[in-house]
């Protein structure tokens, strides 16, 4: 009998954990899958316990990697910028966490390592440790959302040299390398993406497979997904009248909040005419509470913030009229999960020049592009 493979997934965001669960579910009969859940960018306590208590879970173990407590994170946000707080989260306990991962990787000896962001030192560390243990171990880059389709050399971090020096000298990662294009670090052997045909030229040197879809229609997987939403406070059984979900971006200073409020008005009015409600989903890393002021409005539901939009989309897409966002990765994944659904990307909701390429990718994937509010109004009217 052939020995089962040993898969190790290194996840940093709710999106990563969703894709990891899809992959592990498809390989549950051929691989012993484990997850390293790095809680740098979101509080994963509910997700972690959901995976651990799921009897049919494809993961035999979920290792939590922690940094500063989230209550302290919330306090820091009152006195520091979100960017500075995120840097503190990344560097706090980094050396200790690398040592923990080195021991964990050595004990498990993975034959395949899946990383979803090969820029981060912990992701690179696991690949480095795995290759040291077994040079034949395969390292797989799994897309990190829409950034995997648009990032190129001109989008390098201005603080690249400082961060690289800091890691080499103070964190104890002399093997660390800066990655300007996701998926191009020296350990990567292959890639997995939602839309392999849209990948960047730099990724075409690696074999690239489509992320498996089998879990999307599996009743056991769908039961777990519903349970996860309930654990986050969602009343799943009462959401059948949701006609439109708005994926609202995290505030970075580039968003036109007034424009987003008008988009909420347009969507909710279009749904109201059809006897349906609108749902708003704030980004998991958003630190402002209900910055669109929709909590008190009738006919609008705020979805649980900390769960991934993909978990939400899986629950709603079969009967949704549409999903609306800007350049969010969840629009791309929604179109992949439900090709027949109307997915609308709203241009003009950000002042960031980096937005041009994502809209082009979303259009190629089959999403509708609304260039202004009048075009959005017409697109919404098409379904009435």
327-342 per-position pLDDT tens digit: 889 999 999 998 988 9
Retrieve residue 287's tokens: 């630190």
Mean pLDDT of 211-226: 95
Q: In the predicted model, what is the mean pLDDT of residues 283-308? A: 85
Query: Residue 158: its pLDDT value, please?
Result: 47
Q: Tell me, what's the pLDDT at 265?
A: 92
Over residues 328-357, mean pLDDT: 81
List the structure tokens of 116. Answer: 């979803």
* Per-residue model confidence (pLDDT) at position 153: 47
> Which residues are CB-contacts of 221 (< 8 A; sequence separation ≥ 6)?
21, 25, 215
Question: What pLDDT, on the 0 to 100 scale, is given for residue 163?
Answer: 61
Nearest to 176 by CA among 104, 119, 97: 119
Bridge partners (DSSP) of residue 158 are none
Q: What is the mean pLDDT of residues 209-221?
A: 96
pLDDT greater than 90 at residue 305: no
pTM tops 0.75: yes
Higher model confidence: residue 145 or residue 384?
Answer: 145
Q: Where are the alpha helices (DSSP H) in the chain?
A: 14-26, 45-53, 70-76, 82-91, 94-108, 121-133, 147-150, 160-166, 219-231, 257-272, 309-316, 329-337, 356-364, 373-381
What would the pLDDT profile of 65-121 be if each residue is shown by its tens digit? 887 666 676 777 777 777 677 667 666 677 788 889 999 999 999 999 999 999 888
Give yes or no for a contact between 249 and 325, defined as CB atoms under 8 angstroms apart: yes
Average pLDDT over residues 24-41: 93
pLDDT digits (tens, 9 = 90+) for 106-132: 999 999 999 999 988 889 999 999 999
Measured CA to CA, the distance from residue 268 to residue 8 in angstroms comes to: 42
Cβ atoms of residues 41 and 86 within 8 Å: yes
User: Which domains, from first to last, does the chain contain?
Assistant: 5-215 (3.40.50.2000), 236-381 (3.40.50.2000)
pLDDT (0 to 100) of residue 164: 60
Nearest to 148 by CA among 178, 210, 114, 192: 192
Q: What's residue 41's pLDDT?
A: 67
Distance CA 311, CA 355 (A): 25
Average pLDDT over residues 199-215: 94
Going across the sheet that includes 242-248, the strands are 300-302, 277-282, 242-248, 322-325, 342-346, 368-370
Closest by Cα among 83, 334, 314, 331 to 347 = 331
Per-residue model confidence as pLDDT tens digits over 145-200: 888 898 754 444 544 555 666 665 556 677 888 788 899 999 999 999 999 999 99
- Kindly indicate the confidence band of residue 143, based on its pLDDT and cuts at 50, 70 and 90: very high
């Amino acid at each position: 009998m052939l020995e089962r493979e040993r898969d190790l997934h290194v996840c940093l965001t709710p999106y990563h954990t969703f894709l990891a669960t899809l992959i592990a579910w498809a390989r549950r009969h051929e691989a012993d899958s484990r997850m390293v859940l790095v809680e740098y960018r979101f509080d994963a306590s509910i997700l972690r316990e959901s995976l651990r208590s799921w009897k049919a879970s494809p993961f035999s173990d979920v290792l939590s990697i922690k940094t500063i407590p989230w209550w302290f994170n919330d306090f820091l946000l009152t006195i520091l910028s979100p960017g500075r707080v995120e840097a503190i989260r990344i560097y706090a306990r980094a050396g200790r966490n690398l040592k923990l991962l080195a021991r964990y990787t050595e004990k498990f000896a993975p034959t395949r390592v899946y990383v979803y962001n090969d820029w981060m030192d912990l992701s690179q560390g696991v690949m480095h440790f795995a290759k040291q243990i077994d040079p034949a171990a395969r390292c797989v880059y799994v897309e990190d959302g829409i950034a995997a389709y648009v990032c190129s050399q001109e989008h390098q971090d201005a603080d690249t040299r400082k961060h690289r020096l800091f890691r080499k000298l103070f964190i104890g990662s002399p093997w660390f390398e800066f990655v300007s294009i996701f998926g191009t670090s020296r350990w990567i052997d292959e890639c997995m993406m939602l839309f392999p045909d849209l990948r960047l030229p730099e990724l075409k040197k690696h074999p690239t497979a489509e992320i498996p879809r089998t879990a999307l229609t599996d009743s056991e997987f769908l039961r777990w997904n519903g349970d996860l939403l309930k654990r986050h406070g969602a009343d799943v059984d009462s959401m059948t009248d949701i006609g439109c979900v708005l994926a609202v971006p995290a505030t970075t200073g580039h968003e036109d909040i007034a424009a987003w409020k008008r988009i909420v008005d347009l969507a909710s009015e279009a749904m109201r005419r059809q006897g349906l409600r609108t749902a708003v989903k704030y980004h998991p890393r958003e630190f402002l509470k209900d910055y669109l002021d929709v909590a008190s409005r009738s006919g609008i539901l705020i979805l649980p913030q900390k769960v991934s939009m993909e978990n939400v989309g899986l629950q709603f897409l079969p009967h949704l009229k549409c999903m609306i966002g800007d350049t969010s990765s969840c629009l791309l994944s929604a179109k992949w999960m439900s090709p027949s659904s109307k997915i609308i990307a709203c241009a003009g909701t950000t002042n960031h020049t980096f937005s041009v390429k994502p809209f082009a990718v979303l259009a190629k994937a089959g999403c509708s592009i609304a260039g202004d509010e009048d075009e959005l109004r017409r697109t919404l009217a098409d379904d009435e």
